[in-house]
Structure formats: C-alpha cells, structure tokens
C-alpha cells in the first residue's frame, strides 16, 4: 500500500523538493492533497502530474483562476484559505502531512493535524517557534508524530537515534552565517535587499533567506530544537560553520561528538522524514570529502547579529514571548523586503515589540494567536516610525 501524502506549501522551495522526492518513490507514496497560495501556474502543473483529490489556494479569486487553467475533465476539489489548509492537513486518508508554508499561517493547519494524531513532516519552523510547547504536549496526548525537515534538526534526530537522552551534554547547531556574516558593522547598516538574499550555500524562499542573513533563522532553530528534543536552552549552542556540510552535532557526556554530514540538498532531510524511521537508498549527489578539503568553525558574533540574542531571551522568558518574537520578525522582514526599513532596523523592531509584551504563561492556541496578532500590530507601528 502506498503512503498517502498531503503537502502544504507545495509551490515553494521545500514543497517542490518534496514532490521531487515523491516522484522518485512513486511506488511508495501517492499525493492526496496539495496547497499553493498565489502561484496557480505552478500548482496547476503539480496537479496535472500528481493528480491529488484536493488542492488549496489563497481565496475565491485564485480558485477561479486555477479552475480556468485546469483540464475540464479534472474532478479535483478546490478549496481556499485557512479552512482549506485545515481540510488537507486533516484529510482522513492522509498518512503523512508535509507542512512547508512560510510563517505563522502554518500554525493552525499543523495544530489541527496534531489533534488528528497525524505523522507530520514539519519544515515550517514558525509554527514550532510560536507554539512549540502546545504542539509537543498535544502530540503526546493524541499520539501524533512531528518530524523535522529543517536540515539541522534532521541531523540531530539522526545523531540521537539509539542514544539515551540523559547522555546528551549539548546540541551544537551549525550556521552558515548567511549572506552577510563577514560584513563589518558599518557595512551592515547599508545592506541592500540583493545583498541579504545572496545566500552562500542554500537556495530558499525569501523569508528564510533574510532570516539567515540576520541570523534570526538560527535563533528560531534554537527554539525549535528545544521543543523537538526537550533540551534546556543552556544545552543548545550555535557554531558558525561556513561550509555548511555538517548540518548539526550532538556532544555526549563522554566527550564524543556525533555529526551528520552531507551535501547541501534539502531532499536528504525531506526523504529522511518521509521514510522515518527507515533509511532508504537514493541517487542524489554525494559529498566528496577530499574535494572539500577543510571544515572550519567559529563562535557567532551576538553583538553584530543581535537577533540570536533576542531568540534566546524569548525562549528563556517563555509563554507567549516566542510567538511575539516570531510575529514581530515576520513583519520586520516583510518591511525590509518592501524597502520600508533598513536591514539594521530588523532587530530593533523585534526588541522594541518584545519589550512591550506582557507574556502569558501556559498559553492555549487562542493566546498564541492573540499574541501573534498583537506583535504584528505593534511591530507595524515601529516600522512606520523607522
């Protein structure tokens, strides 16, 4: 029996790579649901190739646009908005839900999938950052499984296989440093959008690429790691590793460090999540260690990249603060991409928003959504002042 997969965010970078993996293993997986948002042309191609039963886009207008492009004989069900996303994240027949939507829009469909006890392959780190505790507790209760697609967390999951939790000394998250790591503090004040999007190793969506340039991406991953692996924050360390071949490491109480090393290819962690707990053969390109020559490591500069500090702070404060960090960051990144604020204003806007927030502890889903909404409003106000 083929496993039935629904993919949220199938028109994006992770979504497309997930479909590439599924195409290679068409005898193992079948696609039952897809969601795009605005890119109906790409979704139309995917529908023709994978023939899902349901597809979701942004609104009624995008549904009409997609319907016009589709073959008349197609009997696919077309839905829109959050309701549509929840429909496919909770599809009765779906065995695996891949969540690869950018931003907080991923939270409600992920939460609903967890409530249904699904196996979820999660790329959307924002959902785990905003509501990690809630998602993890609910998953335990409903017997759901949340597996990471992010290469760092996939690496940690692989290093921890067959290891005892109380033998972990620390988790070491590697960071490429993003596009701007070697810029001076003065140069960082005049960064253009093109500079910030020029990632040295990964080709990704714009939001995550800017997060990599501010190093907020690593901060978000620290929060993600805390919830995925139930590790105290003081045991999660970041190391700059510009070559990005080591995707992350775990140091154990006997001084041993295990690392997961592979090519810069998101299809590898995607495949690992889809087949988990099994490892399966593929023909993706192989890393040739003698061609790389050197692997280097250095300490991150928290002063030059204050977003990492803000993420650690949000995690230490807890409650709704990580949701506020995430919401303010999404607004600031969009404002930078719209040329409304400078690159160096991004951490200031997040910091100012966090300063004004009174966190609520043990938040439920409404508390988290309220905190996210509040943070967006407040951060927008700070963007206008910039």
Ligand X SMILES: NC(=O)c1ccc[n+]([C@@H]2O[C@H](COP(=O)([O-])OP(=O)(O)OC[C@H]3O[C@@H](n4cnc5c(N)ncnc54)[C@H](OP(=O)(O)O)[C@@H]3O)[C@@H](O)[C@H]2O)c1
Site for ligand X in 68-127 (CB under 6 A): 100-102, 105, 123-126
Asked if 9 is part of the footprint of ligand X (rule: CB under 6 A), the reply reads yes
Asked if 15 is part of the footprint of ligand X (rule: CB under 6 A), the reply reads yes
Is the Cβ–Cβ distance between 41 and 48 less than 8 Å?
no
Which of 3, 24, 39, 263 binds ligand X (CB under 6 A)? It is 39
Is the Cβ–Cβ distance between 231 and 171 less than 8 Å?
yes
Closest CB to ligand X among residues 128, 180: 128
Q: Read out DSSP for 249-260?
A: EEEETTS-EEEE
Which of 33, 36, 327, 347 binds ligand X (CB under 6 A)? It is 36
Is the Cβ–Cβ distance between 124 and 97 less than 8 Å?
no
Asked if 37 is part of the footprint of ligand X (rule: CB under 6 A), the reply reads yes
Site for ligand X in 299-318 (CB under 6 A): none
Is the Cβ–Cβ distance between 108 and 126 less than 8 Å?
no
Closest CB to ligand X among residues 4, 125: 125
Binding span for ligand X by CB under 6 A among 7-15, 234-242, 248-256, 280-288: 7-15
What whole-number distance in Å separates Cα of residue 242 and Cα of residue 150?
A: 17
Contacts 24+ apart (CB under 8 A), 378-382: 378/328, 378/352, 378/353, 379/327, 379/328, 379/331, 379/332, 379/349, 379/350, 379/353, 380/331, 380/335, 382/348, 382/349, 382/352, 382/353
What whole-number distance in Å separates Cα of residue 266 and Cα of residue 342?
A: 30
Closest CB to ligand X among residues 310, 333: 333
Q: Read out DSSP for 351-382?
A: HHHHHH----SS--HHHHHHHHHHHHHHHHHH
Two tokens at 315?
A: 């995690």
Size of the site for ligand X (CB under 6 A): 25
Site for ligand X in 130-149 (CB under 6 A): none
Strands (E), 93-216: 96-99, 119-122, 145-148, 168-175
Asked if 224 is part of the footprint of ligand X (rule: CB under 6 A), the reply reads no
Which of 25, 193, 195, 205 binds ligand X (CB under 6 A)? It is 205
Which of 70, 193, 197, 202 binds ligand X (CB under 6 A)? It is 202
Which of 6, 14, 114, 155 binds ligand X (CB under 6 A)? It is 14
Is the Cβ–Cβ distance between 102 and 208 less than 8 Å?
yes
Which residues carry a binding-site annotation for Mn(2+)? 150, 152, 221
Which residues carry a binding-site annotation? 11-14, 39, 125-126, 150-152, 176, 199, 205, 212, 217-218, 221
The residue ranges that bind ligand X (CB under 6 A) are 9-15, 36-39, 100-102, 105, 123-126, 150, 202, 204-205, 208, 266
Which residues carry a binding-site annotation for NADPH? 11-14, 39, 126, 205
Which residues carry a binding-site annotation for 1-deoxy-D-xylulose 5-phosphate? 125, 151-152, 176, 199, 212, 217-218, 221
């Amino acid at each position: 029996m083929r496993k039935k997969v629904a993919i949220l965010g199938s028109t994006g970078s992770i979504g497309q790579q997930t479909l590439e993996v599924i195409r290679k293993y068409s005898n193992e997986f079948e696609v039952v649901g897809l969601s795009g948002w605005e890119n109906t042309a790409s979704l139309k191609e995917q529908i023709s190739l994978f023939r899902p039963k349901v597809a979701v886009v942004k609104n009624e207008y995008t549904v009409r646009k997609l319907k016009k492009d589709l073959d008349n004989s197609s009997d696919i069900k077309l839905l829109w908005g959050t309701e549509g996303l929840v429909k496919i994240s909770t599809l009765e027949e779906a065995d695996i839900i891949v969540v690869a939507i950018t931003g907080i829009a991923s939270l409600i469909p992920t939460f609903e999938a967890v409530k249904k006890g699904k196996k979820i392959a999660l790329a959307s780190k924002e959902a785990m950052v905003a509501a990690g505790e809630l998602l993890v507790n609910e998953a335990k209760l409903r017997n759901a499984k949340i597996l990471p697609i992010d290469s760092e967390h996939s690496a940690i999951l692989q290093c921890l296989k067959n290891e005892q939790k109380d033998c972990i000394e620390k988790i070491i998250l590697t960071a490429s440093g993003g596009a701007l790591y070697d810029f001076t503090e003065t140069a960082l004040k005049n960064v253009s959008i093109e500079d910030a999007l020029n990632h040295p190793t990964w080709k990704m969506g714009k939001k995550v690429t800017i997060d990599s340039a501010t190093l907020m991406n690593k901060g978000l991953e620290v929060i993600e790691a805390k919830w995925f692996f139930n590790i105290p924050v003081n045991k999660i360390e970041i190391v700059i590793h510009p070559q990005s071949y080591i995707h992350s490491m775990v140091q154990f109480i006997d001084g041993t460090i295990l690392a997961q090393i592979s090519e810069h290819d998101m299809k590898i962690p995607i495949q690992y999540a889809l087949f988990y707990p099994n490892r399966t053969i593929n023909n993706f390109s192989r890393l040739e260690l003698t061609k790389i020559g050197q692997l280097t490591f250095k300490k991150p500069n928290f002063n030059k990249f204050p977003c990492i500090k803000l993420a650690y702070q949000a995690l230490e404060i807890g409650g709704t603060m990580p949701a506020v960090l995430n919401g303010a960051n999404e607004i600031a990144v969009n404002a930078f991409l719209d040329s409304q604020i400078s690159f160096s204003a991004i951490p200031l806007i997040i910091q100012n928003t966090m300063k004004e927030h009174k966190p609520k502890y043990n938040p439920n889903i409404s508390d988290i959504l309220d905190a996210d909404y509040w943070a967006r409003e407040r951060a927008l106000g700070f963007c206008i002042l910039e």
